Amino acid sequence: MGRGYIVQDDVEGYLSKLCEQKADPVTGLLIGQSSTQRDFVVMAIRTPQKEESAAAARNSVDKEWVTEHARQVSRMLPGGLSVVGVFIITNADAKDALTTLRQLLFAVENLISSEHLWDPADDDVTDCVTLHINPKTRKTVCRTFDIKDPKSVAKPADWKYQSGLCSSWATVSCSLNVDMLLPLPNNRTSTGNMEECLKEGLKAWAHQIESGLCLIDGKRLPEDSELTVGQLHSPKHTHIHTPIFLLTDVIEQCGGSVSVTGAIHSRAYLHSNKPKARLAEKLLKRDVVSTVATRVQMMLEELLASDQESKGKLFCLPHRIFCPLKVSGPLCVCDYQFSDEGLSEVTERLKEMLDIDAAEEDLDTRQEMTFEITGCDITPGGHRDMHACVLCPDCPPFCCLGVAMATAVALLATAASMLYLNDI
């Protein structure tokens, strides 16, 4: 028996509109949540068209373009929401369409998973869905592949629309103080060198977060315990504690460091059909790691694109803004706004990347506040926002990594981060 996908009925209307367009093929992403019990799809997002090559690409699929779009979309999804599949709308033969979908699915998964800093869990679902729609007959063919098996073959799956799906989700959120020091390589002229060095530092921090304790109502709940209706309906205050590890100092030669400090807002969504404490903790921790890593990566891209000297330079990392989906319920997507950007640029990105028509007043900008920066002095305008300072020691070029990481973990352990569980 194949997997069954319960799909928000707004997705049906969205796909129907795409079927009415003259373009062939139309590709896109399916957004939702997969679990060992049930699979949900809450959004479909078409791939943006390349303006400069629209005519040339009209009858072909640009795999690199689709996968890069998927990478950008993945960054804009809070915990609990992910790219669970791909779709194509085309008159092409069903067999050819499935071949294309399979190639896209594996390419998308390979690129997105390459940015993950957490270790796979035993209960992670590795099946992803493909959807082929014939625009003339409106016939829909749904298949799944095991994206961890390169030899995986298509399996039939059930695709069922349901109204009000987005109204029954629980929200888990927390605010967390971050203070870490990431080493830079000696040879910073190599983009790959710098990126890999920062990624390794972030991985070490991510493992500390994964090892942290999540207390609900002041208690460490058993992993398989269900979050009850009473817990979900009234806000419950809990803490995430990351353990303090006693690390032996590790002296490593490096060409500098990046200090990342600030407060982040993290959240995850769970479908409230008997959600388990283990799932809530896993999704929230992954969102914590993902949102920090995304901002560091954006800072790196900005740094490498700049010709200015970076020594001692302060970069105000983008702060997170949430935008509700145009359906009933608590589900939101997010974007990252740099200090020199206006809200209009955020709404433009939401339209381009997620095909969402959002007004500026729809955006939730309250969770993370911006900074007023004067040189290297920071004056908070509310909760501390994320910022990074590139430090380049003149001599000697060594970083004491053990002390730096232990300090970061200690600060996290005393952060008194609040976690809220509610059913909106």
Lowest mean pLDDT segment, chosen from 73-77, 269-273, 310-314, 318-322: 310-314
Asked if 282 and 212 count as a contact pair (C-beta separation under 8 A), the reply is no
Question: Same structural domain for residues 139 and 217?
Answer: no
How far is the CA of 271 from the CAs of 175, 254, 319, 330, in angstroms? 22, 45, 27, 11
Mean pLDDT of 97-103: 96
Lowest mean pLDDT segment, chosen from 17-21, 347-351, 381-385, 416-420: 416-420
pLDDT, mean over the chain: 78
Question: Same structural domain for residues 368 and 323?
Answer: yes
Question: Same structural domain for residues 88 and 183?
Answer: no
Each residue of 351-385: pLDDT tens digit?
A: 999 999 999 999 999 888 654 333 333 233 334 45
Residue position matching structure tokens 């145009």: 326
CATH number of the domain where residue 95 is located: 3.40.140.10
Mean pLDDT of 179-203: 75
Question: Same structural domain for residues 149 and 174?
Answer: no
Q: What is the pTM of this model?
A: 0.83
Structure tokens at 17: 């509109």
Residue 307: what pLDDT? 57
Residue 286: what pLDDT? 95
Hey, which of 3-12, 173-182, 387-396, 401-410 has the most confident mean pLDDT? 3-12
Give CA–CA dist 363/337, Å, rounded.
Answer: 11
Give CA–CA dist 199/196, Å, rounded.
Answer: 5
Question: Same structural domain for residues 79 and 223?
Answer: no
Q: Which domain holds residue 213?
A: 169-423
* List of residues 6+ apart from 222 with CB closer than 8 A: 277
Q: Give the three-class secondary structure for 294.
A: helix
Question: Same structural domain for residues 115 and 173?
Answer: no
Residue 387: what pLDDT? 54
Each residue of 231-260: pLDDT tens digit?
A: 443 333 334 444 433 333 344 555 677 788
Question: Same structural domain for residues 159 and 173?
Answer: no
Residue 57: what pLDDT? 52
Last residue within a domain, chosen from 110, 128, 163:
163
Single out the residue of 237, 296, 165 nearest to residue 422, CA to CA: 237
Hey, which residues does 269 pair with through a beta bridge?
Answer: 171
State the pLDDT confidence band at 331, using cuts at 50, 70 and 90.
very high
Question: Same structural domain for residues 193 and 321?
Answer: yes
Question: Same structural domain for residues 208 and 281?
Answer: yes
Q: How many CB atoms lie within 10 A of CB 202?
A: 19
Last residue within a domain, chosen from 121, 137, 163:
163
Name the domain count of the chain: 2
Question: Same structural domain for residues 115 and 99?
Answer: yes
Last residue within a domain, chosen from 137, 163, 189:
163
* List of residues 6+ apart from 53 with CB closer than 8 A: none
Q: How many CA atoms lie within 13 A of 49 on its CB side?
A: 16
Give CA–CA dist 8/43, Å, rounded.
Answer: 7
